[in-house]
Amino acid sequence: MPRNRTFICQTLYGIAALLALGVQSAFASVNYDDLRALAPESRLRETIGFLAGLDSRVTGYPGAEQATRYVQRQFTEIGLDDITLHKYDVSVPVEKGGFLQVEGDSPPIDLHGLWPNLVRTPTLPDGGLDGHLLYGGTGEYEELDGLDLKGAVVLLDFNSGDNWLNCAYLGAAAVVFSEPDSTVYLEGERKFLTMPLDLPRFWVTKAAGDQLRAAARTGVSQVHLEYRMDWERQPAWNVLGFIPGYDPLLQKDVIVIESYYDAMSVVPALAPGAEQAAGITGLLELARYFRAHPPARSVVFLATSAHHLAMRGIDDFIQRYLRDEDPFIGRMVIRRVVEASIANGFISAGDDGISYSVGSQTFVGKEGLIRHVADEDSVLVKSILADALARGESMIQPVGEGLDLIVPDGEDIRTEHFEDEEELAEALVEDEDLRLAFYRRWVDPKVDSLDVKLFVSLDLSSQTDELGVWNSNSSFYYKRYLAPFGKNFMRYS
C-alpha cells in the first residue's frame, strides 16, 4: 500500500497545488510535506476497503446504491455546500441467480453470469439445461481434440483468451470458467462479444472449479444448470457538492472535479472494484483539502455513476449544465424543466425510481419523458402556466383584460399579448419556439446553472505513477492556462 498510496497521492498533490494557488506560483509556495499529511494511508485504506467490500458496484446492483449513500455521507462530513443527488436511469443486465448441480447427491454450485454478448444474456431456458460435463483446459483445439462438445457444458480455465469461441464453433451448449489465481484486464475483455452470440457463459469459484474438473475427468458426469439474468432499467445517481470561491471577481467561475464511484467486471454480480475506487478516493481527499483551504474560484465536486455504461453519469451532468450551444441548448432547457417539474410535483415519480407520469401518460425512463415534453407535450406546459399565474411570476403581466407574455428572444426580449389564459395556453402548445422561450424564462430561477471554466476528471490508479493531462477546452483564455498547467505537471512528476 505505501507504494500505491504514493501513486495516488502525488497526483492529488499536483492538482491541489495547481488549482489552489495558480500555475505561476504553485511550485514556489507549496509545502509538499504538509500536503502528504492531508491524505493519511489509513484513510485511503478505509475508503477503498469500504467501497471494495460492497460485492458489486455495477450500476443497478445493491452495492452501487450503497456507494451513492456513502459518497453523500462523506460529502456531508467534509462539510461541502449544496450537496445534491441527480437521478437518471440506465439499462443494465441484472443477475437473478443460478446454480450448477453435478448428477447425484452433490450440493448445487453457485453460478454467476458473464457480461452479455451485446444484448444476449446468459439466461437459460425455463427448466434449465442438461448436458455432459467436459474439461477443455485453455480451449485450444489441441486440448479439445477427441472430445464430443456437441450439447456439452465445457469447463475452461479463465485465463484462456477468447478460446471459448472454439467451444461455440464445436457445438457446446454452455461454457463455465473457473476462477484463476490471478488475471489481467484483457482476459475479461475477451470473454464477451459485441454481437448477440447465444452461448451462455458462467463463472465459478476456484474451489468449485477444482470440484468440476475432477468430475469432468471421470468422463461420465452429467450436470444440470439453471440461471437467469435480465436487462432492466435501473436508477443511478450523481452526487454533487460545492465549495464557493473566496474571490468576488472569480467566484462565478466554476471548476468541476469529477470521478466515478461505480465499478465494472466481466462478471457483473462480482465487481468489488478496489482499483476502480482510486479515483473517488482521490476526489474525497481533494474535497477535504479545498474545504480546509478555500480556492479563489468555486469548485464543484462531482461523483458520477454508470461510468462503465457509456459514461452515463458524466453525460447526465453535461446534458444538464454544459450543452448551452445550438442545437443542444433547447434540449438542455427541457431537461431542466423536467427536473424542476418533478421537484414541484407537476410530474409524478414512481416508486420504482424509473417511471414518471404526466397527466394520464406514464413513461419508463427519464429520457423518454424528456423527448415527450420536447416534442408533443400539451399537459405539462398548461400545469406550469397555471402555476406561474398563481405565483404572479413577472414574465406574465396583466394588461387590461388580457395578458402579456415576456420571454427572452436571443439577445432581445419578446412580448406577446393574449386575450386570456386559454389563448395563451393554446399558443404555448402550438408554437414550439414560444414554448421553449417560456420554459427558459420559467426554469432559470428554479434550477441552478454553472459557468464551468474547467472540468478535471480523475481516473486514478494505484498501479502506475504515470499521469495524463487532456485538454479539450475551446476557450483561448483557458488554453493559455492549460499549457503551463501541463508543463508544471511534467515538472512536478
* Verdict on whether the full-model pTM lies above 0.85: no
Q: Residue 378: inside a domain, yes or no?
A: yes
What is d(CA 348, CA 359) in angstroms, rounded to the nearest whole number? 9
What is d(CA 160, CA 184) in angstroms, rounded to the nearest whole number? 11
Average pLDDT of the segment spanning 105-133: 95
pLDDT digits over 350-409, tens only?
988 889 999 889 999 888 999 999 888 889 999 999 999 998 888 999 998 899 999 887
In the chain, % of residues over pLDDT 70: 85
DSSP-assigned letters across all residues of 402-423: EEEEEEEETTEEEEEEESSHHH
> What one-character DSSP code corresponds to residue 327?
T
Reply yes or no on whether the pLDDT at 489 is more than 60.
no
Let me know whether 39 and 111 are in one domain. Answer: no
pLDDT digits over 163-202, tens only?
999 999 999 999 999 999 999 989 999 999 999 999 999 9
Let me know whether 348 and 437 are in one domain. Answer: yes
The H or E element containing residue 224 is: strand 222-243
Domain range for 201: 104-220
Q: Which of 44-48, 202-206, 386-390 has the highest mean predicted lDDT (pLDDT)?
A: 202-206
Reply yes or no on whether the pLDDT at 26 is more than 60.
no
Count how many domains the chain has.
Answer: 3
Reply yes or no on whether the pLDDT at 212 is more than 70.
yes
* SS3 state of residue 221: coil
What is d(CA 56, CA 58) in angstroms, rounded to the nearest whole number? 6
* Among 152, 187, 220, residue at a domain's last position: 220
Cell numbers standing for residue 185: 484486464
Q: Residue 261: inside a domain, yes or no?
A: yes
Let me know whether 63 and 116 are in one domain. Answer: no
* Among 172, 188, 220, residue at a domain's last position: 220
* pLDDT (0 to 100) of residue 469: 59
* pLDDT (0 to 100) of residue 227: 98
What is d(CA 130, CA 151) in angstroms, rounded to the nearest whole number? 9
pLDDT digits over 313-334, tens only?
999 998 888 766 666 778 888 8
Helices 62-78 and 41-52, axial angle in degrees (round to 10) = 150
Give the end-to-end CA distance of the chain in Å, rounded to a whole number.
20
Cell numbers standing for residue 190: 475477451
Let me know whether 433 and 466 are in one domain. Answer: no
Let me know whether 271 and 338 are in one domain. Answer: no
Reply yes or no on whether the pLDDT at 19 is more than 80.
no
What is d(CA 151, CA 493) in angstroms, rounded to the nearest whole number? 56
Q: Residue 269: inside a domain, yes or no?
A: yes
* Among 220, 243, 267, residue at a domain's last position: 220
Count Cβ atoms below 10 Å from residue 256 Cβ, excluding itself.
Answer: 21
Q: How confident is the model at residue 2 (pLDDT cuts 50, 70, 90)?
A: very low
* pLDDT (0 to 100) of residue 17: 54
* pLDDT (0 to 100) of residue 13: 56
Cell numbers standing for residue 369: 419523458
Q: Residue 226: inside a domain, yes or no?
A: no
Please provide residue 298's backbone torsions phi and psi, each rounded to the nearest 5 degrees.
Answer: -75, 145
Q: Residue 99: inside a domain, yes or no?
A: no
CATH number of the domain where residue 283 is located: 3.40.630.10
> What one-character DSSP code corresponds to residue 117?
B
Cβ contacts of residue 486 below 8 Å, gap of 6+?
469, 471
Which of these ranges, 262-276, 327-341, 344-358, has the smallest mean pLDDT?
Answer: 327-341
Q: What angle do CA 18, 24, 26 make, to 5 degrees?
A: 40
Q: Residue 227: inside a domain, yes or no?
A: no
Reply yes or no on whether the pLDDT at 416 is more than 80.
yes
Let me know whether 375 and 437 are in one domain. Answer: yes
What is d(CA 65, CA 79) in angstroms, rounded to the nearest whole number? 21
* pLDDT (0 to 100) of residue 27: 43
DSSP-assigned letters across all residues of 15-55: HHHHHHH-TTTHHHH--HHHHHHTS-HHHHHHHHHHHHTSS
> How does the average pLDDT of the chain come out, rounded?
87
Strand pairing class (201-204; 112-113): antiparallel
List C-alpha distances in Å: 362 to 298, 331, 338, 369, 374: 39, 20, 14, 8, 16
Residue indicated by cell numbers 425455463? 126
Please provide residue 136's backbone torsions phi and psi, each rounded to the nearest 5 degrees.
Answer: -110, 10
Let me know whether 208 and 357 are in one domain. Answer: no
Reply yes or no on whether the pLDDT at 75 is more than 60.
yes
Let me know whether 151 and 59 are in one domain. Answer: no
Q: Please, which contacts does 17-24 make with residues 24 or more away whose CB atoms are closer than 8 Å?
A: 17/492, 18/485, 18/488, 18/489, 19/255, 19/257, 19/290, 19/295, 19/299, 19/456, 20/289, 20/290, 20/293, 20/295, 22/296, 23/481, 23/484, 23/485, 23/488, 24/484
DSSP-assigned letters across all residues of 183-212: --HHHHHTT--SS-----EEEE-HHHHHHH
Let me know whether 50 and 136 are in one domain. Answer: no
Let me know whether 215 and 141 are in one domain. Answer: yes
* pLDDT (0 to 100) of residue 1: 45
What is d(CA 216, CA 391) in angstroms, rounded to the nearest whole number? 74
Let me know whether 333 and 318 are in one domain. Answer: no
β-strand partners of 404: 397, 417
pLDDT digits over 397-407, tens only?
999 889 999 98
In the chain, % of residues over pLDDT 90: 60
Average pLDDT of the segment spanning 445-461: 77
* pLDDT (0 to 100) of residue 492: 47
Q: Residue 98: inside a domain, yes or no?
A: no
Average pLDDT of the segment spanning 444-457: 74
Q: What angle do CA 36, 38, 42 make, to 5 degrees?
A: 90
327 or 38: which leads in pLDDT:
38
Let me know whether 119 and 195 are in one domain. Answer: yes
Q: Residue 96: inside a domain, yes or no?
A: no
Which of these ranges, 128-132, 266-270, 361-365, 458-462, has the smallest mean pLDDT?
Answer: 458-462
Reply yes or no on whether the pLDDT at 24 is more than 50.
no
pLDDT digits over 134-158, tens only?
999 999 999 999 999 999 999 999 9
Asked if omega into 108 is within 30° of 0 (cis), the reply is: no
368 or 483: which leads in pLDDT:
368
CATH number of the domain where residue 204 is located: 3.50.30.30
